[in-house]
Amino acid sequence: MAGTTGRPDPTLDTARLAGHPVARVGFGAMQLAERGGRAAPARDAALGVLRRAVELGVDHIDTAEFYGAGVANELIRSALHPYPDDLVLVSKVGAEHHPGKGLVPAQRPEQLRAGVEANLRSLGVEQVTVVNLRRLDTGPGIEATGDQRVDLDGQLAEMVALRDEGKIGGIGLSNVGVDQLRRALPVGIACVQNVYNLLDRSGEPLLDLCREHDLAWVPFFPLGSAFPRMPSVTDHPAVIAAATALDVTPAQVALAWLLAHDPHVLLIPGTSSTAHLADNVAAGSVHLDAETMSTLDGLAVAPG
C-alpha cells in the first residue's frame, strides 16, 4: 500500500460542476458557522481557515444562508470577497432561521426564491453558481409538515425561473430519492447531495443514476454523523487498520475511498481547524491499492 507523496495538489484531480472544473476535494462551511461565530478569536480563526483553503487549491465551497443564521455566508464574504475567478460557490435553500424557533422548513416556491435572494445579498454576488434544493420529506434533521409538504414540480419550476433570470447558474438537489431525481432530470440538474459514506451506501442507486447522466455526486456526512443510526466511519477497525498501514488518518482513508469509488464524487468536508483542513485536502493524494479497496468495499452496513 502507498500513502501520500509530496505536497498535495488537488488541482491534479478535477471534475466538472455545472460546467466548471473544480478540484474533487472542496470545503463545506457548515462547521464554521457552528463554531466560528461573529466574535474574535473564533471568527478570526474561521476567516483563516477559509483563506487557507483557497491557498491549498480549494475552488469549491459549499454553504447556505441558513447555516448559523447567515454566519457562514458572512464569513465567506469577509474572507474571500472579491472572489477568485475560479471559485465556485454553492449554496442551498429549503430551510430558514425563524426568530424564537431556530431552523425551520422553507419549502414553498416563494420561500425558495427568498432564500436565493438572501444568499445573493449575503455573499455579495449577482449569481450563485449552483443552488441546491434541499428536500425535507425525511431526515436527517428537520422534516416538512403541513403546508411545507409541497410538490417537487412546483419547486423545480421556481428554480428554473431563478436560473432563467440569471440568479443561479445551476440547480442541484439534496436529500432526494431516485424517483425524485428522475422527475427532475428534464429541467437540467447539476449535482445531487445526499447522505453517503463508506459504511452507509443506501444512496448507491442514486449514485448509479448520477453516473448514467454524468451528474456530480456530493455526499454529505462522508465520515458519519452524530444523528442516530449513522455510525462513525473513522471508528471502524478496518478503516483504522488501513490508516495505520498507510501512515495517514482514518478520515483520510474514508475520504480517499469515496474519491476512488466513483469519479463523479466531489467532497466538501468541513472543519474549523487549519490542520484538519490540510489533512482533508491531502486525502486527494492518498492511494488505496486494490486489496485495501476490496476490504473497504465490503464494509457497507444496512442503515437503521
Q: Torsion-angle region of residue 12: left (phi > 0), alpha (psi -120 to 50) or beta?
A: alpha
Contact 119, 93 (CB under 8 A): yes
Catalytic residue check, 83: no
Instruction: Name the one residue in this structure whose C-alpha cell is 447539476.
Output: 190
Task: Return the biggest CA–CA distance within the chain.
Answer: 54
Q: Which residues pair with 174 in a beta bridge?
A: 134, 193
- Chain centroid offset of residue 122 CA: 19
| Active-site pick, 66, 67, 196, 257 | 67
Q: Which residues pair with 27 in a beta bridge?
A: 61
SS (H, E, C) 224-285: ECCCCCCCCHHHCHHHHHHHHHHCCCHHHHHHHHHHHHCCCECECCCCCCHHHHHHHHHHHH
| Catalytic sites, residue numbers | 67
